[in-house]
Amino acid sequence: AQTVTQSQPEMSVQEAETVTLSCTYDTSESDYYLFWYKQPPSRQMILVIRQEAYKQQNATENRFSVNFQKAAKSFSLKISDSQLGDAAMYFCAYRGPGGTSYGKLTFGQGTILTVHP
């Protein structure tokens, strides 16, 4: 079974600084998808960034970028120029290839990010 591990229960960063959130996963598949979701206190999960495993290029979305290391099964999120609105719980998630597991997201335990002004 696939597992996703976030080893940092909490992280903090100063406004305008850079922070990196870690995520590792375990799978026997070669083709899959990885995601970072943000969950503010409102509970609504918001997609931050996604990565297709077959793509070697790391995904970027404005201030958010990932470091995808397929061999190491590592998928970290870097937030540059941190803003107060970035404060939230961040979840790393895995989605397998086609078949019956296609719809299922497997989430990590989450990392609470605090941004200090």
Nearer residue to another protein within complex by CB, 11 or 105: 105
How big is the site for another protein, counted in residues (CB under 8 A)? 26
Shortest distance, CB of residue 14 to another protein, whole angstroms? 25
The CA-based angle 43-82-55, given to 5 degrees, is 80
Residue 112's φ and ψ, nearest 5 degrees, are -85, 120
Residue identified by tokens 């200090």 is 116
Alpha-carbon distances, residue 55 vs 15, 39, 52, 63 (angstroms): 31, 26, 6, 20
106 binds another protein (CB under 8 A): yes
Name residue 79's beta-bridge partners.
Answer: 19, 64
3: Cβ–Cβ under 8 A, 6 or more apart, which residues?
25, 26, 106
Shortest distance, CB of residue 52 to another protein, whole angstroms? 8
Nearer residue to another protein within complex by CB, 34 or 79: 34
Please list every residue from 29 through 68 that binds another protein, using CB under 8 A.
Answer: 33, 37, 42-47, 50, 52
Residue in 3, 14, 83, 109 binding another protein, rule: CB under 8 A = 109
Q: Which residues bind another protein (CB under 8 A)?
A: 4, 33, 37, 42-47, 50, 52, 91, 93, 95, 98, 100-110
